A = this chain, B = another copy of it.
Amino acid sequence: MGEEVKLYGNWASPFSCRVDIALKLKGVEYRYYEEDLKNKSASLLEYNPIHKKVPAFVHNEKPLAESLVILEYIDETWKTNPIFPQDPYERAQARFLARFIDEKLMPTLREAWINEYKKKEAEEANGYLEFLEKELKGKYFGGEIIGAADIAGNTLALWLPIYEELKGVEILTEAKFPKLCKWSHDFATHPVVKEVSPSKEELIAIFKPRFNITK
């Protein structure tokens, strides 16, 4: 078919990693362009003029931005190994969870812990994690097979531990969130996720200076 699939990403961005995961799960061949976020390419700015961010995804010269929008497009275009459930209600729940992670959970966690500790936000984030713990009914959010809500959860499974380590705090603990902890481990060790995601060591090396930690 002469298909051309391009992804403009950054290795340390969870959002472009999501697109890598979806494409690899489906076995779609694509060209990956690593972006320097301090000196973004003309192509990235052309393909994602609104957000000017990674990921930008291009299929046969048709560009798309926003990781969750791209995930849906990939799932509808390449049908093998679906990442969204077939049932409309389950699909709606996957969309809700993915947005919840991006718009509620992670911003509140960041607000609670990243700069100074904020009690109110930490309690709110705790409530969100309790909600998510209850939502986990199988191995993954979608059941036994990894899906879109799990992929959107890469920020929680792979990036949050970096914050925890650099700030010396424990947020997602076995005692409080046993199911989420197991999910986080299963997700992180899934062969495709592992293949395309940065290691903990690599992320710590790049995030350390941003936390003003010199030792």
Contacts and interface: CB of A to CB of B under 8 A. Distances in A.
**How many copies altogether?**
2
Nearest to A93: B64
A4 B62 CA distance: 40
B104 A76 contact: no
Nearest to A87: B76
Interface string A47-66: 00111000000010010111
Interface size class of A (residues with CB under 8 A): 20 to 34
A88 B99 contact: no
Interface of A: 49-51, 59, 62, 64-66, 69-70, 72-73, 76-77, 88-89, 91-93, 95-96, 99-100, 104, 128, 131
Given A65-B96, A72-B91, 4 more contacts: A64-B96, A69-B99, A73-B89, A76-B91
